[in-house]
Amino acid sequence: MTTEGTSATPPPTTPEPGFEPTVCVLGVGLIGGSLLRALGAKRAFGWNRSAPTAEAATAAGFDVSTDLAHTLRLAAERDALVVVAVPLPALDATLGAVAEHAPGVALTDVISVKAPVLAAVRRHGLAARFVGGHPMAGTAHSGWDATDPALFRGATWLVAADDDADPHTWRRVAAMASECGSRLVAATSVEHDAAVARISHVGHVLAEALALAGARGGDLALALAAGSFRDGTRVAGTAPDLVRAICEPNRDALLGVLDEVLADLTAARGSLTAEGTLGPLVDDGHRARRAYEAVQGARESQAERDSDGDGDGDGPVTIRPGAPGWLDVLRAAGAQGHAVALAD
């Protein structure tokens, strides 16, 4: 252990409001490792199950052990914010260790579904100081070698606004995400899972189907493929185990969206057969893409105005965790696609 955080006296830096410098990252693959690197070795330490990854992180100057009990005891001593960054199949074992070795720590996660994580946290009796999170960032690559301290810069970081959320932990998670350069959006875990089934998980399924349809055309088809096929199949390049780990835990929400998509495609097929036209899908889809561009455009304009620093009040909705009605404010902002920011 060589980080400044190991000394009995806190380091003499001035942290961002609400952000205590000590973060403990459990699992330093793409997301957890990028988080470690974004925060720096003075603010964050961690654990990883596999020794080669822990050694790679250690070689890069980070305090990453393969001894979960030891790391968790340190996290408890330092009142670290513990970030669960393991794949979902490893969640239960990891939370079991937290419950055993550091049951009182502030806890968050970066896993791509939120309701199943919240349910597991409750089963382990860890809900009192838990606030779920999900940085909407990633690449088709994984592991320590793919980590990038800038991975979260400009990304959206969902910070859960579930009933009974601990305001102190909420503030710490939000401050950490802001530190990493992310934009904060809040919603309940259930709202999050319904949304990501639409804008991420069903897209994975469609990309796999498109890639397969293309490859069935053989080398001629693949040779003729241009930008639209490249972009439309990009996420089919993600490792199959990772795709399953992302999509399958969100089964119920994903099934609902898959049914919608199947209905839309079947209607277009019927219209093409009967009348030679794809029907309303083309206009509806175009309008939908324009709506997406408008939301993203508003986000970019807001980011530009915010960087003006003119404080004219058109930036993110400011929030004081624990103030009366704070969770309602968070959820209302999220439902409108608005970012939030911690009040000073």
Within 152-181, the residues that bind a copy of itself by CB under 8 A are: 155-156, 158
**Minimum separation from the CB atom of position 191 to a copy of itself (A):** 6
Nearest to 145 by CA among 56, 46, 25: 56
- Choosing from 178, 321, 338, 340, the residue that interacts with a copy of itself (CB under 8 A) is 338
Could you say whether residue 225 binds a copy of itself (CB under 8 A)?
yes
Identity of the amino acid at 187: A
Sequence-distant (6+) residues with CB within 8 A of 211 are: 233, 236
Extended beta strands in 148-285, E state: 156-160, 183-187
**Calculated CA dihedral for residues 187, 190, 191, 197, nearest 10 degrees:** 130
CB of 200 to a copy of itself, least distance (A): 6
Q: How many CB atoms lie within 10 A of CB 131?
A: 27
Of residues 89-148, those binding a copy of itself (CB under 8 A): 136-138
Stretch that binds a copy of itself, among 79-87, 116-124, 308-316, 334-342 (CB under 8 A): 334-342
Residues 191-210 that bind a copy of itself (CB under 8 A): 191-192, 194-196, 198-200, 202-210
**Min dist. Cβ of residue 129 to a copy of itself (A):** 25
* Cβ contacts of 200 within 8 Å, gap of 6 or more: 112, 136, 246
Total site size for a copy of itself, rule CB under 8 A: 99
Of 59-67, 104-112, 143-151, 232-240, which segment contacts a copy of itself by CB under 8 A?
232-240
What's the closest the beta carbon of residue 296 comes to a copy of itself, in angstroms?
7
Measure the CA angle with vertex 200, ends 46 and 240; round to 5°: 70
- Taking the complex as a whole, the smallest distance from the CB of residue 327 to a copy of itself amounts, in Å, to 15
**Binds a copy of itself (CB under 8 A): choice among 231, 308, 314, 328:** 231
At residue 342, the 3 state secondary structure works out as strand
182 φ, ψ to 5°? -90, 160
278 to 317: interface string for a copy of itself, x by CB under 8 A? x--xxxxxxxxxxxxx-xx--x------------------
In contact, 45 and 203? CB cutoff 8 Å = no
